[in-house]
């Protein structure tokens, strides 16, 4: 616990010692002593303190002079005059100069110092409460000034009239009015255009009578003659028995102008909407499509009148894509970081007949409304072509890797090709069997790993006579691919699965020819969607390539065994080179068609690249050949990329790259290693993700800023609540009855002591009543005149205790002393504050 620091001044050392003992034994105070005024002032210059206690009569300079010095240097420092030679004129002089308390020595020391300790506590607490209240008012004024509107507080008087208690300074800027509470409401009403004045006054009366939120929007003419639109809103609450409204008045002229411009824009938009060839709809805030053009009706498969007002926008989105699109729509609709929402993105569109189309969506909100406009572009054919291109690239990559496996056995090659076949067709199981046309025997050679793990067949034959096979042998019998997308359907071609066989939902197998002979049967199953001709094409090309590699491998092995001469080896190398050149040609054709940048390099030195990579880095093809890729890396990422190259990492990573003009872009990079003619090369693909990274950074910064603001605001609110509670507690604990009167003599504030003095229980029992109600009849006339004199002339009775007769609520009377003074605001008396003892 931090102790309060006291400075005790007295010319009698014995009294200083006794007083110090009494004060410090409470554990609340640390006491510094001084025997005279000069010593006390020197102590204050070197050490701060929380309160000064001083004797009055001392050699050379007395306690009143010390009080004057302290008030000139430390105006807020609490001061208690503690003297044994008390006179009334000394006490009056001390209070006039700002002493907090005047205590007279004498009597029982225990009671005397107990009272002193209590006064010390009260003085320190009161001064701290005053400081906290000032800080709170400063904070509230600063907050009100920063709000882009006129912040105000008004209270409703008992007679129903309105009094403004506070108006922020922005009233000059926004309304052209001075923030003068007494005239503000009348001036505001007069400046509202004639057609809106009656509605304005009516809305105010309604809010007061119903104690509900007050809202108003209308046109306002500033004193300069400029016409603007204003909107006002305020919330009602009850404080000390009085209805008050806290609110803000905004200038919404620009919004009104924007609404008119939007109305005209909507007219133009309707014409454009009807005649555009893109499938376009307008979506209401509840998600229902309110307008659909003919292009959308054609895409959906029903006429526009069957769509409008009934179809919800989520009904045409495939379930797997629904959450993504909902999330994007939610954020865009509420204008939360709209620059982070992509201008367009793709999803799968489900028609009314249930067919799937791939579409590209352009999504935007209609300003000033909760509506959205959506345009859809059918890119199904483009998507299929793109997917085919990706599959071709994957197949090409698989063939390249097959070609690289020089030392692999045939079984290893077949197993690798089997895994790639499952991956390319998005299946879960697969198998490869060799076929001997002479013996009409299928020999099972490889199962996919998942099939081996799931299969529970006790005895697994390897050789299958083709005449004894069921559906999976039809590819040989029909000499063409066989697709079964519903394996559970009845079929005369099926002979059933053995117990423990992997369950099948769909199946496809393809015969692979060498000339006109079937040499391989490859099968895959359990794809999440239907198999189609694209899957047949990928399997045929991949397995055809595998068969050629196997044949080539067998040929090379046979040649190696027959002829170890250089001529035979050269022939093998020539064949190998030819295959690599063909592979390179296919790879280049594929690379030039992709939207990613592709660079082939050796130890970072560029050997080849596609056109997209040239565009990304800003160099021509010839300028890039032979260039060190590390020169195109942002300095802070050089070590990262060196590390990736050193460990031959295949894991994708992100880094900033440099363009020719020195600008930067974020790239998502994937690297693979290939071997050509014994030379190790690396293939790196670059995907420009600058937009995504920028979006992530802005979202992160926005979240941090909002979190910091929220934390600061919560801390301020909590401090204000604590300070207000402390101030209320101090006021209620006062031994004097405290009050504030308005200009009509109505009690607007009272503490609990005053309520009890007037015979009531709590302050709310007397707040809102006339002060003269509790004055005996014989004193009411001169007390009323005294109140009017304080208001009109601004005079004060501080230091002049006036005797009055108090009339309690039960009719009993007592005599009391009252001190009162006016509260001066902006040079005039607005209220009266005082105390009764």
Give the domain CATH number at 227: 3.30.450.20
Q: Is the pLDDT of residue 391 over 90?
A: no
More confident residue, 560 or 11: 11
Q: Taking the mean position of all CA atoms in its chain, how far away is CA 366? A: 23
**Bridge partners, 508 (sequence order):** 483, 524
- Do 501 and 560 lie in a common domain? yes
Determine, yes or no, domain membership for 590.
no
88: domain CATH number? Answer: 3.40.50.2300
- Do 427 and 555 lie in a common domain? yes
From first CA to last CA, the distance across the chain in angstroms is 34
Q: Is the pLDDT of residue 576 over 70?
A: no
Q: Is the pLDDT of residue 367 over 90?
A: no
pLDDT band for position 579 (50/70/90)? Answer: low
Q: Is the pLDDT of residue 592 over 60?
A: no
Coil/strand/helix, residue 547: helix
Determine, yes or no, domain membership for 729.
no
- Do 420 and 321 lie in a common domain? no
For residues 594 and 613, the answer to whether their CB atoms sit within 8 Å is no
- Do 235 and 136 lie in a common domain? no
Q: Which of 51-65, 258-272, 410-424, 576-590 has the lowest mean pLDDT?
A: 576-590
469: domain CATH number? Answer: 3.30.450.40
Q: What is the DSSP letter of 619?
A: -
| Structural domain harbouring 238 | 147-251
Determine, yes or no, domain membership for 110.
yes
Determine, yes or no, domain membership for 589.
no
Q: Average pLDDT of 93-110?
A: 86
Match 């560029």 to its residue by tokens: 606
Average pLDDT, the chain: 84
Last residue of a domain, one of 142, 169, 201: 142
Helix/strand/coil (H, E, C) string of 702-746? HHHHHHHHHHHHHHHHHHHHHHHHHHHHHHHHCCCEEEEECCCCE
pLDDT score at 568: 61
- Do 175 and 119 lie in a common domain? no
More confident residue, 87 or 609: 609
pLDDT band for position 343 (50/70/90)? Answer: low
For residues 671 and 649, the answer to whether their CB atoms sit within 8 Å is yes
pLDDT score at 520: 92
Q: Is the pLDDT of residue 746 over 90?
A: yes
Specify the number of domains making up the chain.
Answer: 6
pLDDT score at 140: 66
Determine, yes or no, domain membership for 701.
no
pLDDT band for position 796 (50/70/90)? Answer: low
Last residue of a domain, one of 661, 688, 715: 688
**Bridge partners, 249 (sequence order):** 150, 232
pLDDT score at 1: 62
- Do 152 and 131 lie in a common domain? no
Last residue of a domain, one of 538, 553, 581: 581
- Do 481 and 530 lie in a common domain? yes
- Do 215 and 174 lie in a common domain? yes
Determine, yes or no, domain membership for 720.
no
pLDDT score at 569: 61
Residues 651-697 have pLDDT tens digits of 898 999 999 999 999 999 988 888 777 788 888 999 889 888 888 88
Cα separation of 102 and 94, whole Å?
7
Go through 70-106 and write b for each residue having 16 or more CB atoms within 10 A of its CB, e for each that does not: beeeeeebbbbbbbeebeeebbebbbeeebbbbbbbe
More confident residue, 344 or 829: 829
More confident residue, 218 or 491: 218
Determine, yes or no, domain membership for 287.
yes
pLDDT band for position 720 (50/70/90)? Answer: low
- Do 474 and 447 lie in a common domain? yes
- Do 178 and 100 lie in a common domain? no
Residues 173-197 have pLDDT tens digits of 888 988 888 888 888 899 999 989 9
Q: Is the pLDDT of residue 740 over 80?
A: yes
pLDDT score at 667: 93
Q: Which of 49-53, 367-371, 471-475, 721-725 has the lowest mean pLDDT?
A: 721-725
Q: Is the pLDDT of residue 799 over 60?
A: no
List, in order, residues 6 or more apart from 329 with CB less than 8 Å away: 313, 363, 372
Determine, yes or no, domain membership for 86.
yes
- Do 167 and 96 lie in a common domain? no
List, in order, residues 6 or more apart from 461 with CB less than 8 Å away: 444
List, in order, residues 6 or more apart from 289 with CB less than 8 Å away: 281, 282, 283, 307, 308, 309, 310, 311, 312, 313
Cα separation of 216 and 230, whole Å?
8
**For the chain, how many residues are written?**
837
Strand order in the sheet with 162-167: 162-167, 150-156, 242-251, 227-239, 214-221
More confident residue, 212 or 721: 212
Q: Which of 7-21, 28-42, 551-565 has the lowest mean pLDDT?
A: 551-565
Cα separation of 170 and 639, whole Å?
56
- Do 199 and 124 lie in a common domain? no
Q: Is the pLDDT of residue 368 over 70?
A: yes
Burial of 565 (0-12, 13-18, 19+ CB in 10 A): exposed
The total of other beta-carbon atoms located within 10 Å of residue 525's CB is: 25
The total of other beta-carbon atoms located within 10 Å of residue 111's CB is: 9
């Amino acid at each position: 616990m931090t102790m309060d620091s006291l400075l005790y001044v007295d010319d009698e050392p014995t009294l200083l010692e006794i007083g110090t003992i009494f004060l410090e034994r409470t554990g609340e105070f640390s006491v510094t002593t001084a025997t005279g005024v000069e010593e006390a002032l020197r102590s204050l210059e070197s050490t701060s303190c929380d309160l000064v206690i001083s004797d009055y009569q001392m050699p050379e300079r007395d306690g009143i002079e010390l009080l004057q010095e302290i008030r000139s240097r430390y105006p807020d420092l609490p001061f208690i005059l503690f003297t044994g030679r008390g006179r009334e004129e000394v006490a009056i002089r001390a209070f006039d100069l700002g002493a907090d308390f005047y205590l007279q020595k004498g009597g029982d020391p225990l009671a005397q110092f107990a009272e002193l300790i209590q006064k010390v506590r009260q003085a320190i607490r009161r001064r701290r409460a005053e400081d906290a209240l000032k800080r709170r008012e400063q904070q509230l004024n600063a907050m009100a000034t920063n709000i882009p509107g006129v912040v105000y507080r008004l209270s409703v008087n008992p007679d129903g009239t309105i009094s403004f208690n506070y108006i922020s300074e922005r009233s000059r800027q926004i309304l052209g009015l001075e923030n003068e509470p007494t005239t503000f409401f009348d001036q505001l009403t007069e400046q509202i255009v004639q057609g809106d004045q009656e509605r304005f006054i009516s809305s105010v009366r309604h809010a007061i009578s119903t104690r509900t939120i007050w809202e108003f929007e209308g046109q306002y003419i500033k004193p300069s003659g400029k016409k603007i639109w204003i909107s006002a809103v305020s919330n009602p609450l009850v404080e000390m028995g009085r209805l008050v409204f806290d609110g803000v008045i905004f200038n919404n002229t620009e919004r009104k102008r924007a609404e008119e411009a939007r109305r005209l824009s909507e007219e133009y938009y309707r014409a454009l909407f009807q005649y555009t060839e893109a499938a376009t709809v307008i979506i209401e805030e509840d998600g229902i499509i309110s307008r659909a053009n003919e292009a959308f009706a054609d895409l959906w498969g029903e006429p526009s009148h069957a769509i409008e007002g009934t179809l919800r926008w989520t009904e045409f989105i495939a379930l797997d894509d629904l959450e993504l699109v909902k999330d994007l729509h939610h954020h865009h609709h509420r204008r939360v970081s709209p620059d982070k929402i992509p201008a367009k993105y793709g999803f799968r569109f489900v028609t009314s007949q249930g067919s799937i189309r791939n579409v590209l969506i352009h999504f935007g909100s209609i300003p000033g409304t909760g509506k959205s406009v959506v345009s859809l572009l059918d890119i199904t054919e483009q998507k299929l072509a793109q997917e085919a291109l990706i599959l071709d690239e994957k197949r090409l990559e698989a063939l390249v890797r097959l070609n690289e496996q020089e030392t692999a056995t045939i079984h290893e090659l077949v197993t690798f090709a089997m895994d790639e076949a499952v991956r390319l067709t998005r299946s879960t199981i697969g198998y490869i069997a060799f076929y001997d046309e002479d013996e009409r025997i299928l020999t099972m050679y490889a199962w996919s790993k998942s099939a081996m793990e799931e299969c529970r067949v006790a005895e697994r034959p390897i050789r299958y006579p083709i005449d004894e096979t069921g559906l999976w042998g039809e590819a040989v019998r029909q000499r063409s691919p066989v697709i079964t997308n519903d394996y559970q359907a009845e079929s005369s071609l099926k002979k059933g699965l053995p117990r423990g066989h992997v369950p099948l939902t769909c199946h496809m197998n393809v015969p692979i020819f060498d000339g006109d002979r079937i040499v391989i049967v490859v099968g895959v199953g359990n794809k999440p969607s239907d198999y189609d001709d694209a899957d047949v094409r990928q399997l045929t090309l991949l397995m055809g390539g595998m068969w050629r590699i196997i044949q080539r491998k067998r040929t090379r092995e046979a040649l190696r065994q027959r002829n170890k001469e250089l001529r035979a080896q050269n022939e093998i190398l020539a064949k190998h080179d030819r295959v690599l050149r063909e592979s390179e040609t296919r790879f280049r054709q594929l690379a030039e068609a992709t939207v990613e940048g592709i660079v082939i390099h050796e130890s970072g030195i560029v050997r080849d690249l596609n056109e997209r990579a040239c565009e990304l880095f800003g160099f021509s093809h010839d300028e890039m050949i032979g260039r060190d890729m590390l020169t195109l890396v942002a300095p802070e990422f050089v070590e990262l990329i060196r590390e990736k190259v050193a460990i031959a990492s295949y894991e994708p990573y992100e880094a900033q790259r440099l363009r020719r003009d020195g600008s930067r872009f974020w790239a998502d990079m994937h690297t693979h290693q290939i071997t050509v003619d014994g030379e190790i090369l690396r293939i790196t693909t670059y995907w420009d993700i600058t937009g995504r990274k920028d979006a992530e950074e802005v979202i992160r910064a926005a979240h941090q800023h909002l979190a910091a603001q929220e934390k600061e605001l919560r801390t301020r609110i909590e401090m204000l609540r604590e300070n207000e509670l402390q101030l209320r507690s101090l006021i209620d604990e006062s031994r004097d009855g405290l009050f504030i009167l308005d200009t009509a003599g109505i009690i607007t504030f009272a503490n609990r002591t005053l309520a009890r003095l007037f015979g009531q229980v709590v302050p709310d029992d007397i707040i809102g009543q006339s002060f003269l109600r509790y004055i005996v009849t014989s004193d009411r006339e001169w007390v009323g005149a005294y109140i009017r004199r304080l208001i009109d002339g601004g005079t004060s009775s501080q230091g002049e205790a006036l005797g009055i007769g108090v009339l309690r609520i039960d009719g009993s009377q007592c005599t009391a002393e009252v001190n009162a003074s006016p509260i001066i605001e902006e040079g005039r008396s607005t209220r009266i504050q005082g105390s009764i003892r």
